[in-house]
Amino acid sequence: MKRLKFLLPLLMLATVLLGSFGLPVKANAEHYEIATDETFAPFEFQNSKGDLIGIDMDIVKAISKDQGFTYTMKPMGFNAAVQALEGGQVDGVIAGMSITDERKNKFDFSDPYFDSGVVMAIKKDNDTVKSYKDLKGKKVAVKTGTEGYAFADKNKDKYGYTLVPFDDSASMYEDVKGGNSIACFDDYPVMAYGVKQGNGLKIVTDMERGGQYGFAVQKGQNKELLEAFNKGLVNIKNSGEYQKILDKYIGSDAEPDTFWDTLVSSFPALLKGLWNTIQLTVISLVFAALLGLVFGFLKVSRSKLLRGIATVYVDVFRGIPLIVLAFFIYFGIPQAFNFRMDPNIAAVITLSLNAGAYITEIIRGGILAIDKGQMEAARSLGVPYGKSMMKIILPQAVRVMVPSFINQFVITLKDTSIMSIIGIVELTQSGKIIIARTFETSGIWLVVAIMYLVVITALTKLSNVLERRLGK
């Protein structure tokens, strides 16, 4: 009963915090969940207020209004969005997605809504590269899953360069600016937007005729959504609204903001990302502590079978890389059992299982650090094993465990950044989103690093205070 009283506050805390995520619910048959990227300006990116805007976002908004359906937009990153659609986690994807024969095998596409093409860009002050022939023996940066990547990959042997892949355009541009890659390929409107926003590059080739962008749904699924998209697209083109959307984002010559202006306007988004990071860390560690407590006791059990079960748990979840575990839980399990999982829940499960394995070892080590003679003395006096453990061993072991617990808190807090791959907007992802809009790479990453440092330093100080108090 006393153990339940101890666990009840932790469970209540986890319930309240998990509820604050605000999990979306699919309300009716005409409400859809649509995945997108959030670092592909001018097609999809976040403004300084944190609103998702861009050509694709305005097109979906206009079509949904014309056709009378509602939707929830889920920003996830391009690769995660495509995998979410393939696994049935969302109803559709719009993310500057080129229509290719390979993708047609897995997805059904709408009528093309944008004709694109590929251009090559180099560092602004570079005068040595003027054509593809100048790339021989050099490295070229590309963004995975894009038309630019496909074009660069197709011609790499012809022109003798090697590819350096990235998951977002901003990182690709920085690689060129830093001199690691000599050039990069990207879709023309994306590159042109970046150049005008001051990304430090210049376009040196004419646009290669490329593919077409389409709205995608799972093969054989959501035909009514695809039909609605096609009908709405025709209507907004005929009304002139489609052209207004393009003019709004392409061809703007607005001067980029200063770093200070960017920081002031973006700081609320960074604070929100930090809060999401802390929230996700706390919730995960509550469940990880419960797992660690259970399996930690099993680890020091007198039963060989129970020790074996605990060993398997620790070996499995410490041995699987966190990114692989996140993909398996969010994409693999729902696809295998045909259900949808909220990314916040998937992130909590992933971090809890991983951190729980480490906490198991922390608890085991703390218990074994206490002299065996104390347990033997208690047992010789007739005190039951369980009571001896709870009243004599554990209170002393906690003192030994505190530094390791705080250390695990810090590790899990930093591990939350990996959860951005399944659509979690924590502090690191918030930084990526701001950089995708402003191209202020070094300054924003410095601010993000300082925010992490402040939180981790505070945790370290807390650890020192707890150690001193427990020592008394």
Mean pLDDT to the nearest integer, 264-272: 86
Task: Please give the CATH architecture assigned to the domain spanning 259-471.
Answer: Orthogonal Bundle (1.10)
Angle ∠(357,361,365) on CA atoms, nearest 5: 170
pLDDT of 155 > 90? The answer is yes
Q: Between the CA of residue 420 and those of 2, 32, 47, what are the distances in Å? A: 39, 22, 19
The per-residue DSSP string of 295-316 comes to: HHHHHT-S-HHHHHHHHHHHHH
Q: Is the pTM of this model over 0.85?
A: no
Confidence at 437, pLDDT banded by 50, 70, 90: confident
Task: Check if 24-113+214-249 and 259-471 are the same fold.
Answer: no
Confidence at 470, pLDDT banded by 50, 70, 90: low
Mean pLDDT to the nearest integer, 435-459: 88
pLDDT of 21 > 70? The answer is no
Whether CATH 3.40.190.10 fits 24-113+214-249: yes
Query: In the predicted model, what is the mean pLDDT of the chain?
Result: 86
pLDDT of 115 > 50? The answer is yes
Asked if residue 50 lies in contact with residue 272, where contact means CB atoms within 8 angstroms, the answer is yes
* pLDDT tens for each residue of 44-97: 988 877 788 999 999 999 999 999 999 999 988 888 899 899 888 899 999 989
By mean pLDDT, which of 162-171, 175-184, 380-389 is the weakest?
A: 380-389
What count of residues does the chain have? 472
365 is written with which tokens? 């080590």
Confidence at 292, pLDDT banded by 50, 70, 90: very high
Mean pLDDT to the nearest integer, 148-174: 91
Q: Where are the domains of the chain?
A: 24-113+214-249, 115-211, 259-471
Confidence at 302, pLDDT banded by 50, 70, 90: confident
Confidence at 255, pLDDT banded by 50, 70, 90: low
Angle ∠(252,253,258) on CA atoms, nearest 5: 115
pLDDT of 5 > 60? The answer is no
Instruction: Please give the Cα distance from 319 to 335 (Å, whole number).
Output: 23
Whether CATH 3.30.420.40 fits 115-211: no
